[in-house]
Structure 1
Amino acid sequence: MAHRKTPRRSSRTKIDERNKDKKIIAVVGATGAQGGGLARAILEDKNSEFAVRALTRDPNSDKAKALADAGAEVVTADVDDVKSLRQAFEGAHGAFCVTFFWAHMKPEKELSEARNMAQAAKDAAVHHVIWSTLEDTRKSVPLSDDRMPTLMGKYKVPHFDAKGEADEAFKELGVPTTFLLASFYWDNFIHFGMGPKKGADGKLAITLPMGNKKLAGIAAEDIGKVAYAIFEGGDEMIGKTVGIAGGHQTGAQLAKSFSKALGREVVYNEIAPADYRALGFPGADDLGNMFQYYSDFEQACCDMRNISETKSLNPELLTLDRWPDLHRFARLPPPSPRLPAPCVAGDRRCRGEVKSLPPRCDARFSAR
């Protein structure tokens, strides 16, 4: 057997002696939401058959150092550089592959990153890959369908479509892959500026263009726990698409959960997808189309993300009411006065002066 190259590692980390006989899981985005959840799930299980190899661009970041201190091997890798990915994947049993569209908002770049990961996994002979993906909405809403606008010339929901298109890269290269279909992160309510905000009438409201349709959602941390279970499931999970969710809630039900957590009324401010797209913040058109897709194809989206099946993989699966971060809203400072006010609760359209939601995007999170 040919000798495998040793991956390029940061100078401050080395393989934990306790992990030398364990199967290595290379985790892309190990300092982010999904990858971080997987890394923590493995590291917190002292009886795990796996060891974590955390891939990061900056091994000296606080988050990378925390992973190293917890027992992870930290290596330098760049999703734009297939050679660095190949080196980082060498010797790994599994690889968790994820992209972050919102860092650049370029679907072609996201597609290129995914192809790099697929090629690197193929070259490094990784035994089991999990690719965190989403639907290619163009299969349900062709570009010729004018129910929602075509964006960037060839996408309906860019941050979905590029991931869905990238599925083919893993398949065509014959990479042994499980396709993990995530849901809308509840964390977006905190980190993506989508949480309750006070309107001109003084009421707190969440603004979504979902009508009375249900939105499949999940705590980001649970995505990593499910990924861990998929790796534990071994070969029988290869080739499967696993859709996951912690709950299916309408806008009114989401508002009710926020009301319980905050101890004050939060109402659901329903607006049309076109009005959401017109809010004007970066990505509003993409997100407006996303919510419309979730709404128009509610049954299919929720059926693909079965709560019971998710819980079978992660028995500790959180519901929204049990999600600890939901209660952080009670301790959050009020929105900055420099940011636009939210839509007035109960309005069918946003007022003309309302052009954006708070652009508080935390780089760990994605508006899935």
Structure 2
Amino acid sequence: MSEQQIIAVVGATGAQGGGLVRAILDDRSGRFAARALTRDPASARATELAALGAEVVGADLDDADSLRKAFDGAHGAFVVTNFWEPRTPEEELVRPATAREREQAGNAARAGQEAGVRHFVWSTLPDTRGYFRPDDGTPTFGGSYKVPHADGKAEADRFFLESGVPTTFLQANVYYEAFLDMFAPRRDESGALVLPLGFGEARVAAHAAEDVGRTALGIFRHGLGLAGRRVSVAGSLLTGEQYAAALCLALGEPVTYQSVNPALIRAAGFPGAAEVGNMLQYLIAAAPDIAELIDYEQLRELNPSLQSFDTWLTTHLPTSANFSSSAPS
């Protein structure tokens, strides 16, 4: 057997990076070896990856030197930043999450270039700002952002382009897992299940979290032919009514889709409500462009195990008794 090519995986204990590490370890071809990068190699998740056969290495996206060392000898590197990492208000004031992500992406891109990485897969998101009108009354964050967790990543694309390292831009969409949490069905006053979502009539792309990592492995397998390309992950492209119908079949009881205006979500008052409302408004406005970017034939070639929403529900959905009876505010 030829020597394995090392894939350095940033965020290896998270959803996307962890999915890639496991996909590499499960790959029967043995072409790649997984180098799991984490700030805390002693954590329970890191220890679990080591037990499965991954090389676990300490590295921090805020520490360029640690990244260069972690990338040394790697053929490829998967890079993801975490906008949602818990932070204190003081930390956010000094260094907003968007600025932090840009700096971290820049550190990774430069470190990979200096270490001789031959292929980046950068987990990015689209710039949403072109889908909002200046006079539409939607809030703006940080001076220019409409959906900061997407717009900031889109700005960071340039660091990978400037690095000169061949880069594939991997875009996630809505996680199926959101239907167990933020987008979960709820019981109304009569006890019936409703699915209150700000999807309007749009078809919204979604996928299992682990399918991001599996698709990333497919990209590394494919090689540099996908350098400079964007790959949008989606296992299903459904309307709110169709997501409700799938939940109905899985749960064995009616689930009614209830369209919620994104403006109502922005006004709901929960932490991050304004950004979530903007995100949903973007998903509606950009639906045709999002759908056009999805290449199902390519996705199934990269990830033969790509899961539809129906398939995913057979193994991940709790019983209907687990859903909250409290309606969203």
After TM superposition, the score normalised by the length of structure 1 is: 0.82
Evaluate the alpha carbon distance shift between residue 327 and residue 220 of structure 1 in structure 2; reply closer, same or farther with a 3 A threshold: closer
Further displaced range: 102-111 or 310-319: 102-111
Is 2:32 the partner of 1:81?
no
Q: 1:171-201: per-residue Cα shift (whole Å, max 9, x none)? A: 12222210011111111222x4321121223
Evaluate the alpha carbon distance shift between residue 263 and residue 285 of structure 1 in structure 2; reply closer, same or farther with a 3 A threshold: same
Structure 2 residue runs without a partner (length 5+): 88-96
User: CA–CA distance in 1 between the matches of 2:136 and 2:252?
Assistant: 42
- Matched position secondary structure for 2:256: strand
User: CA–CA distance in 2 between the matches of 1:95 and 1:160?
Assistant: 21
Structure 1 residue runs without a partner (length 5+): 1-17, 344-353, 355-368
Of 205, 215, 219, which aligns to 2:194?
Answer: 205
User: CA–CA distance in 1 between the matches of 2:241 and 2:320?
Assistant: 23
Is 2:99 the partner of 1:108?
yes
**8 Å CA contact retained: 2:38, 2:59:** yes
- Matched position secondary structure for 1:25: strand
Further displaced range: 193-202 or 205-214: 193-202
User: CA–CA distance in 2 between the matches of 1:157 and 1:288?
Assistant: 9
Match of 1:239 in 2: 228
User: CA–CA distance in 2 between the matches of 1:21 and 1:70?
Assistant: 19
More helix as a share of residues: 2
Is 2:171 the partner of 1:181?
yes
Of 17, 26, 47, which aligns to 2:8?
Answer: 26
Of 140, 143, 151, which aligns to 1:161?
Answer: 151
Evaluate the alpha carbon distance shift between residue 326 and residue 303 of structure 1 in structure 2; reply closer, same or farther with a 3 A threshold: farther
Match of 1:151 in 2: 141
User: CA–CA distance in 2 between the matches of 1:76 and 1:325?
Assistant: 37
Is 2:28 the partner of 1:71?
no
Match of 1:130 in 2: 121
Alignment of 1:263-282 (within 5 A): 263-282=252-271
Of 328, 332, 342, which aligns to 2:327?
Answer: 342
User: CA–CA distance in 2 between the matches of 1:258 and 1:290?
Assistant: 23
Count of aligned pairs between the two proteins: 320
Match of 2:283 in 1: 294
Match of 1:91 in 2: 73
CA deviation after TM superposition for structure 1 residue 334, in Å: 4.5
Task: Give the aligned residue type for 1:205.
Answer: V
Runs of 4+ residues deviating >6 angstroms: none
**8 Å CA contact retained: 1:186, 1:219:** yes
Task: Give the aligned residue type for 2:36.
Answer: A
**8 Å CA contact retained: 1:114, 1:166:** yes
Evaluate the alpha carbon distance shift between residue 175 and residue 146 of structure 1 in structure 2; reply closer, same or farther with a 3 A threshold: farther
User: CA–CA distance in 1 between the matches of 2:265 and 2:320?
Assistant: 27
Evaluate the alpha carbon distance shift between residue 60 and residue 332 of structure 1 in structure 2; reply closer, same or farther with a 3 A threshold: farther
Further displaced range: 87-96 or 202-211: 202-211
CA deviation after TM superposition for structure 1 residue 202, in Å: 1.6
**8 Å CA contact retained: 1:261, 1:327:** no
Match of 2:94 in 1: none
Evaluate the alpha carbon distance shift between residue 145 and residue 51 of structure 1 in structure 2; reply closer, same or farther with a 3 A threshold: farther
Match of 2:92 in 1: none
Q: What is the root-mean-square deviation in Å for CA atoms of aligned residues?
A: 2.0
- Matched position secondary structure for 1:29: coil
- Matched position secondary structure for 1:74: strand
User: CA–CA distance in 2 between the matches of 1:193 and 1:326?
Assistant: 19
User: CA–CA distance in 1 between the matches of 2:185 and 2:28?
Assistant: 39
